[in-house]
Structure 1
């Protein structure tokens, strides 16, 4: 008879306390739990085999009759099949999450004058939130955060394609974030017209670049560093947050629609000049959703968490991202109860 057949007999102990040679420890446990009889059936399902055992406990000596054994056998079959499906789903979710992690940067680049830190957690099914930080020609740096709707392998694959495409466009024309996103939008419209995506791209020019207003060559006493200019453009993505000793404010980059949402996509670019010691925070909307608050309240909490960071924390991007996550997500970044991905990327501009 197959191991999962309903009629397979279980193991009955009609009088646990009266069983000869009973282990004293078993007797103590049975007495404390208040049961006097038990009936156990194995939980088997193809192709995984033995999943566990289902046990029924009785508070007085008893043994199930044939009809009850038949019902318990049916229950065992359905329970084993359900457990097998749950385990397979869990395996697929872990595989999707691992794939999503594998498509993202394994380490952040080292760029003179900028310290980077990131925290990322994929949802239980693997999702479409992503980030990137890539060195660009002439000592510049590109920063990106984006989101592809949905979850599972399709969203993960789309996320990987979007990130790889943005990297190529950023290397060729990163100094113009609007051009980067325009090309990305055209590619997405031609290859996956039914899929929308949000993206934020920031171009940080090298110290002393053409937009910084610095003279050619290093200045005595400056260590060779000049203020950096950041040019940002967003496609329906959450506005970044600039925080430092004197200010904490959102940078308005969300005046445009997500990619492919309009027949003709356009976006303005925004230029900012972070002061030495300030940090730019880029994040996905999953960070806001995981708070469980309405959007305006979640934005306010994010602002308060950054503004309220102690001075020593603000000077360390690793400490700052952990501080913010601790304030917004006290349950932790890896919350199995939430389907949302989370990305939080910090770029700290050193003095």
Structure 2
């Protein structure tokens, strides 16, 4: 049986050098972490629109929270833009994955959808042509999306959905609900996919909330429960502005466990003007 060896104690100078080395390494890791966070936030800011269109009787607001509190670049996005005929286009979507490739694919979808929507007035056609264009670039990624087209003259809203989470609606008198619009497959999966269009007239003043699943689904929350939470929020804040409601809805993402990035797009509208 060998006698136990007594570990040698380092000198005070060796211990100090080791401590300085560990401190320097920790500082570098903190700086690298902060650089990654700032890069993710900067890239996401550049990918998302600087502003959203508004018009008399319509407020629009959006919010975005990065995945894992800024550590990853996410593929969630929202968009809003005027169309050549005077209508407004709004979109929200979610690309599979959380990396630079997902962010780049998200940028491709935004650009493609804007370009196609400028020449195609039917949201189902916009979605189908965007889908086929994305398939032509031969990417392994796919994305869910909802696209809306609002005519400010008639207050008619036409929408199409590609595998995306349902919208939440509310009225000024506190009623609220979850849409059950039909839809097609996510973008980038199958060529020739058909996307049915839902048509509605905004004849009651209220709010439409578009969101990604990072707001309503996660390790701590089923998507049905998350959507119902947002529905109750919308009903309880019927008098809030679009900006205030966007903050409230994004806050609901904290109940999911927040492992995914999250996006919210709020449209607060007046009722359609009836002809006299």
Distance 2:134 2:206 in 1: 34
**Partner of 1:279 in structure 2?**
207
**Partner of 2:128 in structure 1?**
182
The verdict on how the C-alpha distance between 1:184 and 1:106 changes in structure 2, with shifts beyond 3 A counting, is same
Distance 1:65 1:291 in 2: 47
Gaps of 5+ in 1: 1-63, 209-227, 332-336
The verdict on how the C-alpha distance between 1:138 and 1:321 changes in structure 2, with shifts beyond 3 A counting, is same
The verdict on how the C-alpha distance between 1:100 and 1:66 changes in structure 2, with shifts beyond 3 A counting, is same
Distance 2:184 2:122 in 1: 16
**Partner of 2:76 in structure 1?**
129
Distance 1:68 1:255 in 2: 70
Matched residues, number: 260
TM-score computed with the length of structure 1 as normaliser: 0.67
Distance 2:45 2:82 in 1: 20
Asked whether the 8 Å contact 2:135–2:191 carries over to 1, the reply is no
Asked whether the 8 Å contact 1:134–1:143 carries over to 2, the reply is yes
SS at match of 1:320: helix
**Partner of 2:166 in structure 1?**
239
Distance 1:176 1:320 in 2: 29
Q: How does 1:205-220 map to 2 (within 5 A)?
A: 205-208=151-154
State yes or no: 1:97 paired with 2:36.
no
- Cα displacement string for residues 119-162 of structure 1 (whole angstroms, at most 9, x for unaligned residues): 22223122111111111123211110011122232222221121
Asked whether the 8 Å contact 2:132–2:192 carries over to 1, the reply is no
Distance 2:213 2:199 in 1: 22
Q: How does 1:1-351 map to 2 (within 5 A)?
A: 65-66=9-10, 70=14, 73-74=17-18, 76-77=20-21, 80-81=24-25, 83-123=27-67, 124=70, 125-173=72-120, 175-208=121-154, 228-244=155-171, 245=173, 247-253=175-181, 255-262=183-190, 264-289=192-217, 292-309=220-237, 311-313=238-240, 316-326=241-251, 328-329=252-253, 338-351=258-271
Distance 1:183 1:348 in 2: 29
- The alpha carbon displacement at 1:199 in A equals 0.9
**Partner of 1:55 in structure 2?**
none
Task: Using CA pairs under 8 Å that are at least 6 residues apart, name the structure with larger relative contact order, 1 or 2.
Answer: 2
Gaps of 5+ in 2: 1-7, 272-276
The verdict on how the C-alpha distance between 1:304 and 1:246 changes in structure 2, with shifts beyond 3 A counting, is closer
Distance 1:325 1:81 in 2: 36
**Partner of 1:17 in structure 2?**
none
